[in-house]
Structure 1
Amino acid sequence: MLAVGALGLSLCLGTAHADELTDRRDQLERAAQQTKRDLSESTKGLQDAVVALQAAEAELRDAETRLAATQEQLAAAQALDEKMQKKLAKAQEELEAARVAVADNQLELDNQLAMVGEVVRTEYQQRTNLMGVAVLLQTHSQADLQTKMQWSTTMFDTAEASMDRLRELQQKLEAAEARRAKIEAQVAEDRQAAAENLERKEQLEAQAEAETAQVQALVQKSDSARAAAEKEVEADEKRYQELTAERSAVEQRIADRIAEAKAKAAAEERARKAREEAAKAKRGGSSSKGSSGGSSGSSPSRDTSFSMPVNAPITSKYGMRLHPVTGIYKLHDGTDFGAGCGVPIRAPYSGTVTERYYNAGYGNRLLIDHGKVRGSYITTSYNHATSYSVGVGDRVSKGQVIGYVGTTGYSTGCHLHLMVWKNGSMINPMSWF
């Protein structure tokens, strides 16, 4: 008769995020409606406390999901930051090496340029259009001529080799400068990416800090809601015990009335038999006139069907209920009809009003004894009514207005709580109607 333990969002961005929130909202709404139905015999304080607990725990789960997602993104950003810092350090080393290589190549090129310049100047100073003739004229022998010609050739070869080396060094310098420029561009790009990732990481850190604070606040809110719900559950448990005691007392009174009715019926049967015996004795034992009393024809059968007391849908069935907070099964001892306040309640069958009073749990209640129907003693009870139009001792007929739907006692809204006893034992009302 009570209801609801702890409940269960991950949040994403964009349309999917909105859809999940919508689904979550609908799920919570359905849960809240189910809670209201399950707590139809409880106070509104308990209903509100349980629904508040559900909402607080749902908020907490959602916040924890968001925090977990942010922390995951933050961890990825931190890992990326470390990776990029290592990459930048390595690139910086390569850049320094490239700069050294450029400087070394530039120095070597400068030295080679100086050397080539000296060779070129020497050749220029010594070389004239008559140099070949001078070599021939100043030669004293064939061997001397060959030596001087070899020297001239060597000098020209050396100059040419120096120029080749110069070109080679120039190419090396250009290659080193190109590598340095490429590394500098990559380093600049990596620094930009690292700066952006750092900014993202700082944003995530701030977001994680804010979400952590939110989770802590929601934990406190959830704890407060749970404490309030537990307090209301304790109070509701007390009320349930009161209802159980009330049921036992009512069943005892019904049993006493059934015993009284049976005793009265037995006494009437004995009196009837005594009258028959006396009449028989008075006639001298003659049976020529047939049996006394009653007609020879069969008595017409009477309608023993019970009609619904209100024209409204069933909102809560009879049976055991799992309490949503304590997890304990408890009996919901009647059938609830979702009729509005003020709707007339009609007697489902003829009978006599035996009890009419107010109870803290059942509110305004009325009991009708219908006597022996289909071989069983039947009693019906109507609860939470605004008022009743009949009193104890009144004889009511099937379909007669006996009261009006309300929400008195332990009730969270307008409804009729119908109860039925068969031979003094409570049964599912719908098994008889």
Structure 2
Amino acid sequence: MRRRLRLPALLAAACLLVGVAVASPAVADEIDDRRKAAEQKAAANEKAQADAEAAMEGLDASLQATASRLLELQAQIPAAQARLDEAKAALEKAQREAAIIAARLVDAQEQQVTLSATIQQDTEQAEKMRAAIGQMAREAYRGGAEVSGVSVILDAESSEDFVERYGLVSTALRTQAQVLDALKAAEASNRNAQARLDAVEDRITELKAEADQKVVEADAARDAAEDAKATLDGLVAEQQAQQATLESQKAALASALAAMDAEAKAIENELRAAIDAQRARDAAAGKPAPAPGPVGSSLFGNPTSISPIYVTSEYGMRLHPTLGYVRLHAGIDLRTYCSTKVYAGRAGTVTWAKTRYGFGNQVMIDSGFVNGNAVSASYNHLTSFAVSSGQRVERGQLIGYSGNTGTSAACHLHFEVYVNGSTVNPRPLLGL
């Protein structure tokens, strides 16, 4: 059950948090930095995913699925952590603001109590002064004497009596005037205090509404933080499970890589054997092969139906980010979609069109010798063939349809070029 903030809790926290700023630039900058770092991490993981797909060619579907899911988790965890950090910051901000409002509410309520007490006190004092004025009026009425300077002079029996009478009259008048002035001041003070009390009570109403709103915001922020934490915890738990699965499949991984490497080696050996046989035939026919020179560039046209050519993964060594092995990505991956046309990049003879372990449906085309170098190219992971072994093909001729056969991670064309039986980077030979 999620705990909810309530007004008494806010009031209790006020003394501790009232001096804390609602939000500071440093906190905002820190969140922005974490968000930027998470975005950079996501971009790096996206590249790692592409490289890993290239490195995973040669693995069985189970290993690929486990490794791919682990990569997805690695990509999601930084973003999930950033969301959790933001949710926590939002909750802390809402709690700070709630505490500040609670402190203001406490202050306003204390003012309300003080003003109410002042009004009560002044009202009681005013009542006493009104009673005193009434008492003086009643005493004067009962005495029946007119209090005036003339009566004081006419009624005086002697000069001493006059002085005494005049002093008493002056004192009475002065006292009466003072009481009236004090009554007016008390009434004015009461009116002012009442106006202030009305303003304070209005402010209390506003602060209570703000406090209620902050309760809603804090509850929502807490829910978001708890949901973000649950998501992150779930991702981390699944990541640990996937890592454990991969750990248990190390033997299968080693076997798969060995099988893929053996198949790649077998292909090279078959090509070299064919090259040696051709050179032997040429030598027997009196046509010795010239010394190999530079192969050149732009020997091949675009083998895909995507124009311009779009490279999804380059030729070169790959460190798999989750499985930990290093191996050569011996070709270049070109974007194609499932069952789209694949064309011969250069004229030649189809050496074979068959399924090879890891490579799936493969078409190997021998393009003969270029400046003393034997040049062949393979087109891999095809869905189906449009040519057969021994067939002569021209540049741009349809040879098959792209796919995801073998140990491919997705539909694409894995294109390899062999010079003298060894793979080379196809990029310059494609004019890229």
Give the TM-score band, short-chain normalised. 0.5 to 0.7
Residue 365 (str. 1) matches residue 362 (str. 2): yes
User: Offset at 1:377?
Assistant: 1.5
- Checking the alignment, whether the CA contact within 8 Å between 2:333 and 2:415 is kept in structure 1 is yes
What is the rounded CA distance, in whole Å, between the counterparts of 1:86 and 1:131 in structure 2?
Answer: 59
| Aligned mate of 2:239, from 226, 241, 264 | 226
Cα-to-partner distance string for 1:76-120 (whole Å, 9 max, x where unaligned):
11232124314422552354245334434543x146325523652
Secondary structure of 1:165's counterpart equals: helix
1:345 Cα shift?
Answer: 3.4
Match of 2:314 among 305, 315, 318: 318
1:184 corresponds to which of 197, 200, 219: 197
Maintained 8 Å contact 1:347/1:402: no
In structure 2, the residue matched to 1:163 is 176
Q: Does 1:206 align with 2:219?
A: yes
Range with bigger deviation, 311-320 or 327-336 = 327-336
**Equivalent residues in 2 for 1:24-173 (5 A)?**
35=49, 39=53, 45=65, 50-51=71-72, 54=75, 58=79, 61-62=82-83, 64-107=85-128, 109-110=129-130, 112-113=132-133, 116-117=136-137, 120-121=140-141, 124-125=144-145, 135=155, 139=157, 145-173=158-186
Contact 1:102 1:176 in 2 (8 A): no
- CA–CA separation in structure 2 for the residues paired with 1:112 and 1:199: 49
- The structure-2 alpha-carbon separation of the partners of 1:147 and 1:351, relative to structure 1 and needing over 3 Å to count, comes to same
| Bigger shift: residues 375-384 or 202-211 | 202-211
Q: Which amino acid aligns with 1:416?
A: L
1:427 to 412, 424, 428: 424
Tell me what 2:331 maps to.
334
RMSD over aligned Cα, in angstroms? 4.3
Query: In the TM superposition, what whole-angstrom CA distance separates every residue of 1:248-288 from its partner, at most 9, and x where no partner exists?
Result: 33234333444444455555559x9xxxxxxxxxxxxxxxx
Q: SS state of the match for residue 400, structure 2?
A: strand
> Is it true that 1:398 corresponds to 2:394 in the alignment?
yes
Please list every run of at least 4 consecutive aligned residues from structure 1 whose deviation after the TM superposition is greater than 6 angstroms: 27-34, 126-130, 232-237, 326-329
Shift, 1:363, TM fit: 0.8
When residues 326 and 184 of structure 1 are mapped into structure 2, their CA distance, relative to the original with a 3 A threshold, is farther
The percentage of aligned residue pairs carrying the same residue is: 18
Q: 1:427 to 1:179 in 2, by over 3 A?
A: same
In structure 2, distance between residues paired with 1:132 and 1:385 = 133
Instruction: State the AA in 1 paired with 2:165.
Output: S
Task: Give the gaps of 5 or more residues in structure 2.
Answer: 1-37, 289-297
Aligned-residue offset at 1:218: 0.8
Question: Is 2:272 the partner of 1:255?
Answer: yes
Answer yes or no: is the 8 Å Cα contact 1:56–1:218 preserved in 2.
Answer: no
The whole-number CA distance in structure 2 between the counterparts of 1:74 and 1:371 is: 76
Distance in 2 between the 1:70 and 1:124 partners? 79
Partner of 2:19: none
Asked whether the 8 Å contact 2:382–2:402 carries over to 1, the reply is yes
Tell me if the contact between 1:359 and 1:365 (Cα under 8 Å) persists in the aligned partners: yes
Tell me what 1:15 maps to. none
Between Structure 1 and Structure 2, whose CA radius of gyration is higher? 1
> Is contact 2:305–2:340 with CA below 8 Å preserved after alignment?
no
Query: In the TM superposition, what is the alpha-carbon distance from 1:429 to its structure 2 partner?
Result: 1.7
Residues in 2 aligned to 1:133 and 1:98: alpha-carbon distance in whole angstroms: 45
Equivalent position of 1:195 in the other structure: 208
* 1:116 alignment partner AA: M
Secondary structure of the structure 1 residue equivalent to 2:144: helix
> What is the one-letter code of the residue matched to 1:426?
T
Aligned to 1:419, what secondary structure does the other structure show?
Answer: strand
Once residues 412 and 120 of structure 2 are traced to their aligned partners in structure 1, the CA distance between those partners, rounded to angstroms, is 89
Asked whether the 8 Å contact 2:48–2:321 carries over to 1, the reply is no
Letter in 2 for 1:384: H
Contact 1:81/1:197 (CA < 8 Å) preserved in 2? no
Counterpart-to-counterpart distance in 2, 1:347 and 1:110: 114
Q: Which moved more, 1:320-329 or 1:415-424?
A: 320-329
Aligned residue in 1 for 2:295: none
* CA distance 1:328–1:193, shift in 2 (3 Å): farther
Q: Which one is further off, 343-352 or 152-161? A: 343-352
Question: Does the 8 Å contact 2:304/2:342 carry over to 1?
Answer: yes
Aligned length: 367
Q: Distance in 1 between matches of 2:151 and 2:399?
A: 148
* Secondary structure, aligned partner of 1:406: coil
Summarize the Cα distance change of 1:86–1:115 in structure 2 as closer, same or farther, 3 Å threshold.
Answer: same
How many Å separate the matches in 2 of 1:171 and 1:329?
Answer: 97
- The verdict on how the C-alpha distance between 1:356 and 1:122 changes in structure 2, with shifts beyond 3 A counting, is same
Q: How much has 1:223 moved relative to structure 2?
A: 2.3
Q: Give the letter aligned to residue 253 of structure 1.
A: E
User: What CA distance in whole angstroms lies between the structure 1 residues aligned with 2:426 and 2:150?
Assistant: 141
Alpha carbons of 1:98 and 1:360: their partners in 2 closer, same or farther (altered >3 Å)?
A: farther
Aligned 8 A contact 1:112 1:165 in 2: no
**Structure-1 separation of matches of 2:146 and 2:171:** 15
Cross-structure match for 1:343: 341
- Which one-letter code corresponds to 1:318 in the other structure? E
Contact 2:51 2:320 in 1 (8 A): no
- Distance in 2 (CA, whole Å) between partners of 1:89 and 1:28 is 53
TM-score, with structure 1 as normaliser: 0.68
The residue matched to 1:39 in structure 2 has which SS? helix
Question: Are the counterparts in 1 of residues 104 and 207 from structure 2 also a CA contact under 8 Å?
Answer: no
TM-score (norm 2): 0.68
SS at structure 2 position matched to 1:69: helix
